Amino acid sequence: MTYESIIGLEIHIQLNTRSKVFCACPADSWGALPNTNICPVCTGLPGVLPVLNRAVIEKAVLLAAAMHCEIQPQSFFDRKNYFYPDLPKGYQITQYDAPIGRRGWFDVPLPGANGAPSGETRHVTIQKMHMEEDAGKTKNDPLRGRRSPSGGVRLIDMNRCGVPLVEMVTGPDLRSADEAAQFLIRMRQLLRWLDVSEANMERAHLRCDANVSIRVVGATELNPKTEIKNVNSIEAVKDAIEKEIERQVKEVSAGRRVEAWTLEWDEDTQTLKKMRSKETEADYRYFREPDLLSVIVADEWRDVILSRLPELPLDRRDRFMEHYKLPAYDATLLTEERSLSDYYEEAVRLCGAGGDPKTVANWVQNEILRLINEMSITAAHLRFTPAHLAELIKLVEAKTITRQTAVALIPKVIATGKAPKALVEAEGLVQISGDDALRAVARQVIAENPEQVAAYKAKPTLLKWFVGQVMKKTQGKANAQAAERILQEMLK
């Protein structure tokens, strides 16, 4: 029997608003000491009332629109009741049966065998999208735990209480662990593109639970699924789903049934462990949050928010292929991150009518991408601007400087803040391409290396070595093609 896997994801996204969802505490408390970023509202002290953060709705609506969701003109907050030490109110404020977004979709491009774009996409439906507050964190205290006869002390950090989240539930549309990983990679890209989340998985800005089941290929029914929780990197999501598919195939092949367990991924041992049996919806005793009004997104407000929706990554990729005639590989790479796409387009524009978009793409991919990766910044923060790049490309195209000189100029521009042209003039970097000047250098190289000259007769590939010597003597300023031609003549 051949089986296929059916995967749906539940994603929690931490919005990058300045303050929490119902109080004025900063939303991001990464690196803060435990319980230093809290107030009476987010810790649920008696007598306080939540006040909804307008920016949370705006970011949620923007994201819902990018996922092609129907944005609900009226939605409601509810209380989800459960008892856990990290939930000081005894309930979580969330949206239940009337969420802000419904029925959307997200197309995920699938890579081919060699990692290059395959041109195929997986159409993933989004069942619903809602806003909610995060809970706190509990952890074991290793120091006091060792001394405690009862087996340890649990510590509570409430800094995360009230951090704004959007939860998104996909349909059972993904078909492999790889596809789930691709979904998360594209989701992370989109969240940063829209500036709604930092989407850093290590900092829990993007969290994912996966529902996994299998069925015989060709069947249409859905079998009982298991839910994998607590996976906090894209690699871990992939590993955990792969392990779980393997386990289910083994169970079913042995004639056993898969039971609807909740599983927890253990990063250290790379195994799935069965958790407590899952609460059912009824256990949460949902009811409308009486302290908040319903959320009304009137047409005018919605239109203002949607006017900020940028061209989406895949649309921009397609436009780059169409308009600039870039190959899919280049267009995909240049639209990985929004400020990089902006950088590229600005450089093309500044190169003017005579500029070749593919040449600019090569420069951005080879030099600019390497730099921003080395410096761990985005293109928006690079001190070597699109105007600098356009100027540099023009200098190379006009044969004023060599490519080698141009590449060496980039760190100098960053260090001094001076434009490439000014540096070329100040440092005398103009390319040496006149035959007389090159002949003089070549003559010197030949005179200084009689052994290589003798060896050249038997081994013509040594020509490259001579070109290298000429480049060395001119600090990379020699026109390499001209130098090669002249050396060939002189060594005959």
Chain residues that interact with Zn ion, rule: CB under 5 A: 23, 25, 39, 41-42
Name the minimum Å distance from CB 136 to Zn ion. 12
Which stretches of 308-449 are assigned E, i.e. beta strand? none
Name the minimum Å distance from CB 386 to Zn ion. 42
Name the minimum Å distance from CB 33 to Zn ion. 15
Angle between helices 420-427 and 403-416 (to 10 degrees): 110
- For Cα atoms 458, 460, 465, give the angle at the middle one, nearest 5 degrees: 120
Q: What Rg do the C-alpha atoms of the chain give, in angstroms? A: 30
Looking at beta carbons only, is 48 or 423 nearer to Zn ion? 48
Distance CA 457, CA 440 (A): 22
Looking at beta carbons only, is 45 or 440 nearer to Zn ion? 45
Name the minimum Å distance from CB 14 to Zn ion. 15
Name the minimum Å distance from CB 162 to Zn ion. 5
Distance CA 64, CA 332 (A): 23
Name the minimum Å distance from CB 300 to Zn ion. 31
Phi–psi pair at 116, nearest 5 degrees: -75, 160
User: In angstroms, how far apart are the furthest CA atoms of the chain?
Assistant: 96
Name the minimum Å distance from CB 287 to Zn ion. 23
Cβ-based neighbours of 337, under 8 Å, separated by 6 or more: 189, 192, 193, 378, 379
Looking at beta carbons only, is 21 or 210 nearer to Zn ion? 21
Looking at beta carbons only, is 25 or 297 nearer to Zn ion? 25
Name the minimum Å distance from CB 133 to Zn ion. 10
Distance CA 42, CA 161 (A): 6
Residue 358: strand, helix, or coil: helix
Q: What is the DSSP letter of 283?
A: G
Q: What is the DSSP letter of 383?
A: S
Name the minimum Å distance from CB 91 to Zn ion. 16
Looking at beta carbons only, is 23 or 406 nearer to Zn ion? 23
Looking at beta carbons only, is 39 or 252 nearer to Zn ion? 39
Neighbouring-strand partners of residue 144? none
Name the minimum Å distance from CB 25 to Zn ion. 3
Q: Which residue has the tokens 């999208």?
A: 129
Alpha helices in 79-212 (DSSP H): 142-147, 177-194
Looking at beta carbons only, is 161 or 429 nearer to Zn ion? 161
Whether 100 contacts 70, CB under 8 Å: no
Which stretches of 221-314 are assigned E, i.e. beta strand? 226-231, 262-266, 271-274, 287-288, 295-296
Looking at beta carbons only, is 91 or 265 nearer to Zn ion? 91
Quick one: tokens of 63?
């994201």
Helix (H) / strand (E) element for 33: namely none
Looking at beta carbons only, is 39 or 155 nearer to Zn ion? 39
Whether 352 contacts 391, CB under 8 Å: no
Helix (H) / strand (E) element for 293: namely none
Looking at beta carbons only, is 39 or 371 nearer to Zn ion? 39
